[in-house]
């Protein structure tokens, strides 16, 4: 080996060694400031503690700091985490907060967190006041809380939908994320309205369908992150779940992002409502795709309007306004435009033509020829063959990048 190559290899070796030594923690890769590495990394210790805290319903034991970037901490403030813990505890139970045997401070806190309604809290406090053995100081304190309860802003019972039915924690996580994403565009939808003037508590979370594709996919990413950070589901399980119920269905059935969102919610509802211990890990294996798909279609019609059934397929779902009643779905008529300046991507990739690629009569706006780059034929020259597509190109001068001259 020439001496200069030996020297170069030695320098490269020591550079690699320095890079390895420069990382204190091989788990978080020094993402967490001050992490000492090994088994003490918060990515390990905090996530384990959060799993136990969520299972026990102990909101105070759940810590997101260090686990998620600072800009995302506002998605799950303490009050929202308390609501999530309450929902986890309520799975499989018939009631909500039981005030019997609770102190007056616990009852008022439960009201503030939406675990009990005003009538129930008032009745429980009056029961405490009826105790003849109550000291004067305690009686005065309970009376003060009772007075505060009467003037406190109304708080909806958490974890219920408009019909008063219990809603599970998985959809609550999605709703919290979508609320955050909608707030990024200065629009927060509460109870189906777009007005900021509402009597409902701003801490209430309503599951509102995303209005565009970008929001949907960002929500999926944050769902994976928060499920893992909160202790609701391991990142490996939630990733596989999303691949099965979203991406696989899109590949197999050509579902649009709207249909995929609705199917995603229907599957989460099946997990939330399960009485047999269904989880993200096994709900897909339980089957029921036809039923879930029918439910998703019904949910889509409610969430995106009457045109949703025409927009279930990806090839027709990229319209600008899914709520428009005058949307006309165009179908490719098997014709192209031979004199067009550009080759058709859909033709080369074997995918359906999106609406924006079709003329009003269904003719493709582009020419159906192979668009593999070739050399020796001028700047940005392509193969241009009508007999094959890019993946089967056999042109003698094909190349990996556009020719510059």
DSSP 323: T
pTM of the model: 0.55
Q: How far is the C-alpha of 25 from the C-alpha of 182, rounded, in Å?
A: 35
Nearest to 67 by CA among 246, 224, 197: 224
Q: Are 85 and 62 in contact (CB under 8 A)?
A: yes
Say if residue 287 is exposed, middle or buried (CB neighbours under 10 Å; 0-12, 13-18, 19+): exposed
DSSP letters along 114-128, please?
TSS-HHHHHHHHHHH
Read off the tokens for 213.
């594709």
Give the CA distances from residue 313 to residues 218, 220, 244, 310, 347, in Å, rounded to whole numbers and listed in that order: 20, 20, 18, 8, 18
Q: Cα dihedral sign for 186, 188, 194, 199?
A: negative
Q: Are 97 and 112 in contact (CB under 8 A)?
A: no
337 contacts: CB under 8 Å, gap ≥ 6: 359, 363, 364, 365, 366, 367
Q: Are 169 and 91 in contact (CB under 8 A)?
A: yes
- Divide the 405 residues of the chain into consecutive groups of 10 and give the mean pLDDT of each group: 52 50 78 85 89 83 88 86 78 57 84 72 87 88 86 58 55 89 54 33 63 91 93 91 91 88 90 75 71 84 78 54 55 92 85 84 92 86 90 87 73
3-state SS class at 332 = coil
156 contacts: CB under 8 Å, gap ≥ 6: 114, 200, 201, 204
pLDDT, position 127 = 87
pLDDT, position 69 = 87
Q: Are 146 and 152 in contact (CB under 8 A)?
A: no
Chain CA centroid to CA 262, Å: 12
Alpha-carbon dihedral angle through residues 371, 376, 380, 386, given to the nearest 10 degrees: -20
φ, ψ for residue 374, nearest 5 deg: -135, 160
Query: Tokens 């000291």 map to which residue?
Result: 135
């Amino acid at each position: 080996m020439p001496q200069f190559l030996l020297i170069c290899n030695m320098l490269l070796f020591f550079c690699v060694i320095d890079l390895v030594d420069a990382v204190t923690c091989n788990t978080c890769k020094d993402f967490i400031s001050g992490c000492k590495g090994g088994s003490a990394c918060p990515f390990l210790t905090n996530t384990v503690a959060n799993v136990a805290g969520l299972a026990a319903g102990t909101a105070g034991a759940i810590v997101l700091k260090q686990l998620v970037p600072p800009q995302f901490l506002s998605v799950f403030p303490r009050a929202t985490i308390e609501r999530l813990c309450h929902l986890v505890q309520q799975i499989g139970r018939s009631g909500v907060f039981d005030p019997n045997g609770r102190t007056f401070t616990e009852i008022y806190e439960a009201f503030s967190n939406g675990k009990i309604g005003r009538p129930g809290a008032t009745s429980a406090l009056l029961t405490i006041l009826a105790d003849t053995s109550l000291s004067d100081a305690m009686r005065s304190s309970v009376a003060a809380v009772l007075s505060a309860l009467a003037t406190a802003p109304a708080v909806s019972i958490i974890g219920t939908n408009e019909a008063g039915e219990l809603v599970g924690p998985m959809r609550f996580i999605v709703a919290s994320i979508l609320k955050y994403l909608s707030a990024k565009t200065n629009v927060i939808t509460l109870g189906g309205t777009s007005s900021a003037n509402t009597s409902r508590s701003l801490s209430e979370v309503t599951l509102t369908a995303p209005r565009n594709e970008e929001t949907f996919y960002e929500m999926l990413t944050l769902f994976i992150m928060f499920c893992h950070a909160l202790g609701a589901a391991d990142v490996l399980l939630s990733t596989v779940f999303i691949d099965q119920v979203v991406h696989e269905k899109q590949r197999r059935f050509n579902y649009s992002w709207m249909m995929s969102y609705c199917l995603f919610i229907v599957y989460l509802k099946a997990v939330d409502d399960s009485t047999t211990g269904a989880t993200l890990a096994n709900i897909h294996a339980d089957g029921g795709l036809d039923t879930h798909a029918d439910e998703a279609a019904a949910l889509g019609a409610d969430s995106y309007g009457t045109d949703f059934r025409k927009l279930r397929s990806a090839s027709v779902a990229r319209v600008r306004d899914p709520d428009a009643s005058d949307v006309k779905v165009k179908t490719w008529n098997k014709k192209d435009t031979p004199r067009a300046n550009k080759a058709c991507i859909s033709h080369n990739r074997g995918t359906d033509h999106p609406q924006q690629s079709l003329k009003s009569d269904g003719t493709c706006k582009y020419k159906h020829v192979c668009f593999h780059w070739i050399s020796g034929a001028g700047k940005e020259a392509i193969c241009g063959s009508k007999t094959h597509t890019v993946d089967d190109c056999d042109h003698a001068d094909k190349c990996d990048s556009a020719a510059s001259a």
